[in-house]
Structure 1
């Protein structure tokens, strides 16, 4: 199929929606099979994967696929926090619900590089709901590390 024909099909199956001056969504309505372990709720979709283009301090782009699939088939991911205001909201919620020491861990993790030789501070935080009743959510610091070696298979640790 020619590039021109492919473009026509893509244009037919997409819709762009502007939510605000700096949030545009582009929906691709091409039908695809669900090859994940994730299941939608009866009245709500769940996020299986996000693709993010990160602008690095050197003005280069780093593309990151954030895959929420798990072998459990259950979707535990709750929040993706990407800026100071989001962190402020998360810290306030943690201070009220879980206590100031937990809130301080989040503030400190956002404000500092994970390791001294890392190229930058975290780009985003991922929050997962507690695995037990009355538990503390897990909070993961992401994308500030120098080492992006996918072969190490070391599970990241929650900061709280």
Structure 2
């Protein structure tokens, strides 16, 4: 169970999918189209859930999934360096806060998607390739004054309701 959970966490943390309108295979790498996971709930029960990354799904434009506190801090540090300290704090606030006061728990994972105003290759414009990118282990923003890179959307997922198993979802 631990090995399975660790494998899922590592897979989710490294997850990156295409942001085009329809999911298509790439020439040099596989693309995740569908994922199935067992989620360990606070009462020690598990729930089997699935996620589709194909065209039209809620996760079709997913750029990254964060499944642990370590991942949330890693992402917060990256956002702080690229978009500023307030952006990093937003990551941690989303990870550590229930979406609604009446939610049964904090988010199980974070989903990061392109900014609303982002283009298909929005992530390529945030750091200049012509200059050194690393200085004192920090990524430098190399944009003009008042010109800020669009910030990706951060959503806390799977904490806003108690899941009621339906169809293929079974509590073990």
**Aligned pair count?**
118
Candidates 81, 97, 100, aligned match of 2:66? 81
- The structure carrying a bigger strand percent of its residues is 1
* Secondary structure of the structure 2 residue equivalent to 1:141: strand
Deviation at residue 147 of structure 1 after TM alignment: 6.5
Structure 1 residue corresponding to 2:50, chosen from 41, 50, 65: 65
Instruction: Give the secondary structure class of the aligned counterpart of 1:23.
Output: helix
Q: Which runs of 5+ in 1 are unaligned?
A: 1-18, 25-36, 150-160
TM-score, structure 2 as length reference: 0.60
SS in 1 for 2:48: strand
Q: Distance in 2 between matches of 1:128 and 1:88?
A: 18
Q: Does residue 145 in structure 1 map to residue 160 in structure 2?
A: yes
Alignment-derived partner of residue 11 in structure 1: none
- The normalised TM-score by structure 1 is 0.64
Higher relative contact order (CA 8 A, sep 6+): 2
Distance between the aligned counterparts of 2:5 and 2:92, measured in 1?
Answer: 28
Query: What are structure 2's unaligned runs of at least 5 residues?
Result: 9-21, 123-148, 165-172
Is the CA contact (8 Å cut-off) linking 2:94 and 2:154 kept in structure 1? no
